[in-house]
Chains A and B, each alone.
Chain A
Amino acid sequence: MMKNINYSYWISTFKAFKKNKVALFFLYIIIGLIAFITIQPFLPDQKSPNAIYVDEATGLQLINKPPSKEFWLGTNSIGQDMWARIWAGTRISLLIGFTVALWENLIGLFVGLIWGYVRKLEGIISVIYNVLNNVPKTIMLILLAYTMKPGLLTIIFIMCISGWLDSARLVRNLVVTIRDREYNIASRILGTPIYRIVSKNILPYLVSTLVLKTTLSIPAAIGYEVFLTYIGLGLPVSTPSLGNLISEGRGYIVVPSLRYQLMIPALILSTITVSFYTIGNAFADASDPKNHF
């Protein structure tokens, strides 16, 4: 019982997390990847991801060159440097992933708490949820494409508009199952204000699920960007992302010498997803107090 005296929830959570060596390994990979893509443009001998390189002797574009000293990963079909494009693409995709995941889970948490806890608003929020959930995102996306400039902000904006629905539903379902537990009824009878019940009784119960949801939202947002590019609504080619790198590379799967143009972005995307998936699951386990001792 001695160690219960100095019990701190977060310290114990991190301790439990550190015991999971596989998750720790993936955490280092993500940290390493973020560090690398941040400093990569400032390293020596880096090329611009959008410049088109031309052979000085003939004046022709350097199309689909194999990896060389000059172009570390070769060039693509219009003579751009693949090495620079791949890392610029990873940067953009991770930026989309983090922004969208944070936003949708914050809004989702807020709406979900109200949806689950305030009975008077339950009906109306359910109808809003069903309506938003059933209006195809593609329609909104195309309409926004008419009114806004296609680009990074538009993509992030459209993902945020409807992205919070899933988190809100998840939080709502959890809140509904615990709102009438005895300790909450006791708090209510004692006249505890709602914000205190929510922050002290309900929020701690949601931590593990929300952390898991957020870590899964990051790769999901990146994957959604790949899907949008696939149906022709993604980022313009001038903004490289894992989505448009993969859709450019798809055609090369039949050409053995160029297959790497698909495989490398695909490999980075898979590494990011596997990492967040493992970290999220390990953290969700670690944040359960039953696993602290």
Chain B
Amino acid sequence: MIKYIFFKILQSIFTLFLVITIVFVLMRSMPVEGYLGEDYDKLDQVQKEVIIESLGLRDPIHVQLKKFYNRIIAGDLGVSITYRPGVPVADILKSKIPYSLGIGLTSLAISFVSGINLGIIMAENSGKILNKLGNIYIVATNAIPAAIYYILLQFYLTDIFKLPMLFYADRPISWILPILSLSLGTTASYALWMKRYMADELNKDYVKLAISKGMKMKDVIKKHVFINAFVPMVQYLPASILFTISGSIYVESLYSIPGMGGLLVEAIQRQDTTLVEAIVLIYSFIGIMGMLFGDIFMALLDPRIKFGKSEGRI
């Protein structure tokens, strides 16, 4: 296991290196005029050339790459070019991450607990009315595009419950709707998978054995089925927790939350290379680490799962 984790970490570092290099080269292949931002029309040819020169954009690509690696290894994320010219990228991120993290983590906690409970209830009542109601909820939230039901929720719920239309950091009542919007979809997908895994487990022979031994169905579910069905649910949890910092572009723009949602898209559109690279670096690090932690969690929870050397190979 330790050897496996070590190998995986090496592979992750290599992947991370490839990703940031590709993103760097892609960003540099955009037209050079984009780096001048909003001042483009006001500058004459000489001034433009001076700015482009000072950003180091006229250097050959391998020189630029070398500078970039040195900066990243030194732990410096650089200074924003066009998004907020001159402001260190780390400061921009520091001001935005707490909002997305706060709302994201709250909604994730709510959806994880309620989704798993809903899934268990649906599996226990398979074929009954509770199961059907749960199914309707899951199909509806999966099928109606989030972009639409977020607007409808905001429009009708603010009206009915007299909740504020926008987000204010100091008024907790205005957090309810963004958190609720985010939770609906995630709850449904946790419930869907929990029900699916529970149903698979309930068909297994050990359940029949336990029942014929005289155990009550409720106890079998609590003591055996639940734990076995819970293992695969854990795999995506670390990634979901880490990715709450990326925020939701729809919810954050609907409620004017100054978070991370949409920052990457905007930074790309405004060609703020340093900001884009910092965000991509963070997100891909999170994505790769999330997968790794997911695997480790699973192996810890279920001793039957082994990574590394594959068995039964010929």
Chain A residues in contact with chain B, CB under 8 A? 119, 123, 126-127, 130-131, 133-136, 138-140, 142-143, 146, 180, 185, 188-189, 219, 223, 226-227, 230-232, 246, 250, 253-254, 262, 266, 269-270, 273-274, 277-278
Contacts and interface: CB of A to CB of B under 8 A. Distances in A.
Contacts of B230: none
12 contacts: A127-B15, A131-B22, A139-B27, A140-B26, A180-B314, A185-B312, A246-B148, A253-B151, A266-B144, A266-B148, A269-B145, A270-B148
A131 B26 CA distance: 13
Contact of A189 (B29, B144, B313, B314): B314
B26 A134 contact: no
B234 interface: no
The range of chain B's interface size is 35 or more
B18 interface: yes
A139 B15 CA distance: 18
A185 B22 CA distance: 40
Which applies to chain A's interface (DSSP): helix, strand, loop or mixed?
Answer: helix
A38 B155 CA distance: 35
B148 A269 contact: yes
Given A231-B249, A273-B144, A136 B14 contact: no
B288 A130 contact: yes
B312 to A, nearest CB: 4
A155 to B, nearest CB: 16
B231 interface: no
B276 A139 contact: yes
Given A136-B264, A136-B280, A226-B147, A278 B287 contact: no
Nearest to B17: A131
Interface in B11-51: 11, 14-15, 18-19, 22-23, 26-27, 29-31
Contacts of B249: 230-231
Given A127-B14, A270-B145, A136 B22 contact: no
A139 B145 contact: no
Contacts of B155: 253-254
Interface in B134-152: 139-140, 142-145, 147-148, 151-152
Given A227-B147, A230-B147, A134 B314 contact: no
Given A146-B31, A223-B145, A269-B145, A180 B283 contact: no
Contacts of B11: 123, 126-127
B19 A246 contact: no
B250 A142 contact: no
B19 A131 contact: yes
Contacts of A188: 314
Contacts of B215: none
A130 B11 CA distance: 10
Contacts of B145: 223, 226, 266, 269-270, 273
B15 A277 contact: no
A139 B151 CA distance: 27
